[in-house]
């Protein structure tokens, strides 16, 4: 097989990988800080995509207002709305469960997922609605030398990488980030110093959800927008987080990217295994390094 085929599959794999990375990053941030396994993360991603779709195609149809919210405003608006919903969920529901076992948070967020999915499945086609709002400036293809690659996909890769590494930098190398890490390690003492840890937790949950919403908007022009788009992806993303190591920020980003690549390349080598190779790796990691590739053994 030619090098071009391998490279182009690798790039397509990377394209999937950045979505894994963005979603698993949000999950890792939330798990690392709150010890909550946010099953609703996929629903937040789906919601981000739907906010973009509704803003573009449905405002006039539903409300009779002649208005169209384009891709760029959605890229800002959707994460803010999804983040706000996250904050609402944390403040009104999750906060009551912190003293209980992890499983309660998981059950609650799983329930929220089913409700949101059901709600959207009631109004939208389960098999997907295309998002027509891809900006003109990102249409067409770019000649990369070895292949022609869709401009929008290239944009999605670069944009996601910037967001992922900015998040990592913020958490690992800024003062506010060090406060977050301190709040994770020893919340009592961090509060005794006069830092408002509950507020930090709420905002972090909102931020993690916003990140999922952002990924949803980015995905809308590539994949069709469907009530189940998050459910399909979230299982893979959980596997990515397990492989990277629960709670490890860099681990989530790198393993997201790497597993997207692995999946893409498997499509070249042995296509039938492409959708299961990640789970095979997850089993291996769990057997031989249960804390994950980047996680610390406890």
**Is residue 137 within the footprint of other proteins (CB under 8 A)?**
no
Q: Judged by CB under 8 A, does residue 192 bind other proteins?
A: yes
Residue bearing tokens 């003109």 = 136
In the chain, the N- to C-terminal Cα span, in Å, equals: 44
Nearest to 205 by CA among 49, 48, 78, 41: 41
Considering the complex, what minimum distance in angstroms separates the CB of residue 184 from other proteins?
8
> Would you say 108 or 203 has its CB closer to other proteins?
203
Pick the piece of the chain touching other proteins (CB under 8 A) from 33-41, 79-87, 188-196, 279-287. Answer: 188-196
Question: Do residues 250 and 173 make contact, with C-beta atoms less than 8 angstroms apart?
Answer: no
Task: Out of 62, 193, 270, 280, name the contact with other proteins by CB under 8 A.
Answer: 193
Q: Least distance (Å) from other proteins to the CB of residue 33?
A: 12
What is the secondary structure of 66-92 as a DSSP string?
Answer: -----HHHHHHHHHHHHHHHHHHHHHH
CA–CA dist 2, 10 (Å, integer): 13
Using the minimum distance from each CB to other proteins, give the nearer residue, 160 or 167: 167
169 binds other proteins (CB under 8 A): no
Distances (CA, A) of 110 to 19, 38, 44, 87, 97: 21, 8, 12, 17, 14
194 binds other proteins (CB under 8 A): yes
Token duo for residue 244: 């990277």
- Asked if 190 is part of the footprint of other proteins (rule: CB under 8 A), the reply reads yes
Which element (helix H / strand E) includes 150? strand 148-150
Taking the complex as a whole, the smallest distance from the CB of residue 238 to other proteins amounts, in Å, to 24
Query: With CB under 8 A as the contact rule, which of the stretches 20-28, 46-54, 119-127, 189-197 interacts with other proteins?
Result: 189-197
Task: Closer to other proteins by CB, 79 or 245: give it.
Answer: 245
Told to check if 176 binds other proteins by CB under 8 A, we report no
Residues linked to residue 149 through DSSP beta bridges, in sequence order = 142
Residues numbered 195-214 forming contacts with other proteins, rule: CB under 8 A:
195-198
Strand spans (E) along the chain: 141-143, 148-150
Write the CA distances from 91 to 69, 94, 106, integer angstroms: 29, 7, 16
Minimum distance from residue 177 beta carbon to other proteins (Å): 9
Position 91 contacts other proteins (CB under 8 A): no
Residue closer to other proteins, measured from CB, 197 or 215 = 197
Report how far Cα 251 is from the mean position of its chain's Cα atoms. 14
> What kind and span of H or E run contains 148?
strand 148-150
* CA–CA dist 99, 196 (Å, integer): 18
Q: How many residues bind other proteins (CB under 8 A)?
A: 19
Tell which one of 59, 159, 179, 250 touches other proteins (CB under 8 A): 179
Q: Is 95 in the site for other proteins (CB under 8 A)?
A: no
Does position 297 interact with other proteins (CB under 8 A)? The reply is no
Between 4 and 196, whose beta carbon lies closer to other proteins? 196
To the nearest whole angstrom, how small is the minimum distance from the Cβ of residue 245 to other proteins?
14
Can you read off the two tokens belonging to residue 144? 């990369």
Choose between 18 and 180: whose C-beta lies nearer to other proteins: 180
- Rule CB under 8 A: which residues touch other proteins? 175, 178-179, 181-182, 184-186, 188-198
């Amino acid at each position: 097989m030619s090098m071009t085929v391998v490279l182009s599959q690798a790039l397509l794999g990377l394209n999937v990988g950045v979505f894994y990375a963005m979603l698993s990053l949000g999950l890792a941030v939330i798990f690392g800080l709150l010890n909550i396994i946010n099953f609703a993360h996929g629903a937040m991603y789906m919601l981000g995509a739907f906010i973009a779709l509704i803003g573009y195609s449905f405002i006039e149809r539903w409300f009779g207002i002649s208005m169209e919210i384009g891709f760029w405003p959605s890229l800002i608006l959707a994460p803010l709305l999804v983040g706000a919903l996250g904050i609402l969920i944390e403040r009104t529901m999750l906060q009551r469960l912190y003293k209980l076992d992890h499983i309660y948070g998981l059950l609650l967020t799983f329930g929220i997922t089913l409700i949101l999915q059901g709600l959207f499945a009631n109004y939208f086609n389960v098999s997907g609605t295309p998002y027509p709002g891809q900006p003109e400036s990102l249409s067409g293809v770019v000649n990369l030398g070895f292949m022609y690659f869709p401009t929008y996909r290239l944009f999605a890769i670069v944009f996601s990488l910037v967001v992922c590494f900015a998040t990592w930098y913020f958490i690992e190398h800024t003062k506010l980030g060090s406060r977050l890490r301190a709040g994770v390690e020893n919340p009592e003492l961090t509060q005794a110093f006069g830092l408002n840890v509950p507020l930090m937790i709420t905002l972090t949950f909102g931020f993690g959800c916003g990140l999922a919403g952002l990924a949803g908007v980015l995905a809308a022009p590539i994949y069709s927008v469907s009530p189940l788009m998050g459910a399909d992806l979230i299982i893979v993303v959980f596997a990515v987080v397990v492989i990277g190591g629960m709670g490890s920020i860099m681990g989530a980003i790198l393993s997201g990217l790497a597993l997207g690549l692995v999946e893409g390349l498997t499509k070249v080598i042995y296509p039938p295994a492409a959708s299961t190779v990640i789970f095979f790796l997850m089993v291996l990691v769990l057997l031989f390094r249960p804390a994950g590739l980047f996680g610390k053994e406890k």
